[in-house]
Structure 1
Amino acid sequence: MPDIPYTNALIVGAGAGISASLARQLAGAGLKVALAARNTTKLTALAAETGALTVAADAADPAAIRQLFETLDEQFGPPDVVIYNASGRLRGPLAELDPDAVRKAVEVTAFGAFLTVQQAVRRMVPQGRGAILLTGATAGLKGYAGSAAFAMGKFALRGLAQSAARELGPKGIHVAHIVVDGGVRSATRPDPAEKPDSTLSPDGVAQAYLDLLRQPRDAWTFELDLRPWVETF
């Protein structure tokens, strides 16, 4: 399998779980890593472990995302891998949802992805290369009861990914949408003893992202579904 042909990776919406595993594996593969989140204090240990640059940014704020990329231009170098992992998880009955909270959730999940992709491609297109990976969910394929806001955002994210892939692929930029179809394992959400490997391992998910980055351009994956072996679909 070829080495990853990129040098600088940015993870937007960084935190524990998938983002942390991605940061470790990207750094282990020799890439410089930058981590962006509204609260960077929670990233201190991960940044020390991976040598990552941390930048505070609200994903849904156009000025903040523009400043994020300008900061990277000066202190890190333009990223040639951008991973969008931010989402707004708002749940509840439709009749009871706060419209302002719904707007914010959709802005974080979808509008923030647009802002991030826009800044990324302004830097990648002139270079004729790059990779943009967008973290989706089951909710981007089917909306569940009580999860309208999350589904709205993830459906929009998938539409952005489709349009971006068709526009940017011929310009040398690999766009992929990853459907994380199942619960993700964590210290507070371990597998039941009677059902081992019944949730997604963050390290396993991260490995799949890195495999995408290694693909030759004559065999790019656009959409990848990831689920544990017991998940129904």
Structure 2
Amino acid sequence: MTRKSAIVIGVGADLGLGAALCKLIAQQDYHVFVAGRSLEKLDTVVRAITANGHHAESVVTDATSEPDVLDLFDKAMASREGIEPPSLVIYNVGNNRRVDFRDLSLDDFESFMRTGPVGAFLVGREAARRLVPLGRGTVIFTGASASLRGKPGFAHFSASKAGVRMIAQSMAREFGPLGLHVAHVVVDGGIDGERLRTSRPQAVAERGENGLLNVDAIAETFWAIHVQHPSAWTQEIDLRPFKESF
């Protein structure tokens, strides 16, 4: 008996979207390659998964490093008894902060572009190289409403996320007919995770019940995209709290 597998890139805090994705996928009897930059955080997520009798392993990966991304896919694709090559790849890398355009440095701008379209390109390219020959698979990119509009103080973030969105669209049109499902999830609103709770606890309190996106609810949508029938694939979907204006 073989177990399907998945790669989730951009896993950080245990109370975060990356971790929620890993846990939900593992519950479907998948072996999950839990990828991110901090081994300590990855191992925390893996322990939580394996403690419940599911399967996962940590792979330290900088998504902006081509050698790291190649090593991750080599590991996931390696012939291993009982584990199939990945059928699901999720790119969940990103960060956000407001910076006045006049104060934005080139280093800051390039940093956002690397975690955005550069990393998405590397992961998307390797997913296409490895999965298209198999004639199946799903690649999902975590996006943001910034990919649709640029707000004051967020030019760097919007440029980054718009790049990821275009990569997802181009891949979907090129590889969808070959059996690879490529989707982009627009997350519109604050995510109720460790990052926001730590950096802006007052904002979390002000939003009230269901005023922020629940990480498990987002993860359920990602999974629903993965298991869609090929006659009705989603390329893009947007998620927001019921209180969020748009």
TM-score interval for Structure 1 and Structure 2 normalised by the shorter chain: over 0.9
Structure 2 counterparts to residues 1-233 of structure 1, below 5 A: 7-16=4-13, 17-50=16-49, 51-74=55-78, 78-186=85-193, 188=197, 189=201, 191-192=204-205, 195-233=208-246
Q: Which runs of 5+ in 1 are unaligned?
A: 1-5
Q: Distance in 1 between matches of 2:20 and 2:234?
A: 21
Q: Distance in 2 between matches of 1:81 and 1:40?
A: 22
* 1:89-143 residue CA offsets vs partner (Å, 9 max, x unmatched): 3531111112012112111111101100111111111110000000000111111
Query: Structure 1 residues 191 and 91, CA, compared in 2 at 3 Å: closer, same or farther?
Result: closer
Report if aligned partners of 1:22, 1:206 keep a CA contact under 8 Å in 2: yes
Q: Distance in 2 between matches of 1:194 and 1:217?
A: 37
Q: One-letter code of the match for 2:121?
A: F
Q: Distance in 1 between matches of 2:208 and 2:67?
A: 46
Report if aligned partners of 2:12, 2:38 keep a CA contact under 8 Å in 1: no
* 1:155-192 residue CA offsets vs partner (Å, 9 max, x unmatched): 00010011000011100111110000011113525853
SS in 2 for 1:7: strand
Percent identity for Structure 1 against Structure 2: 36
Q: Which runs of 5+ in 2 are unaligned?
A: 50-54
TM-score normalized with structure 2 length: 0.87
Report if aligned partners of 2:17, 2:193 keep a CA contact under 8 Å in 1: no
Q: Distance in 2 between matches of 1:40 and 1:182?
A: 28
- Superposition deviation, residue 88 in structure 1: 3.8
Superposition RMSD in Å: 1.7
Report if aligned partners of 2:35, 2:42 keep a CA contact under 8 Å in 1: no
SS in 1 for 2:86: coil
Q: One-letter code of the match for 1:85?
A: N
Query: How many residue pairs get matched?
Result: 228
Report if aligned partners of 1:132, 1:176 keep a CA contact under 8 Å in 2: yes
SS in 1 for 2:163: helix
Report if aligned partners of 1:90, 1:102 keep a CA contact under 8 Å in 2: no
TM-score normalized with structure 1 length: 0.92
SS in 2 for 1:63: helix
Q: One-letter code of the match for 1:29?
A: Q
- Superposition deviation, residue 77 in structure 1: 5.1
Q: One-letter code of the match for 1:161?
A: A
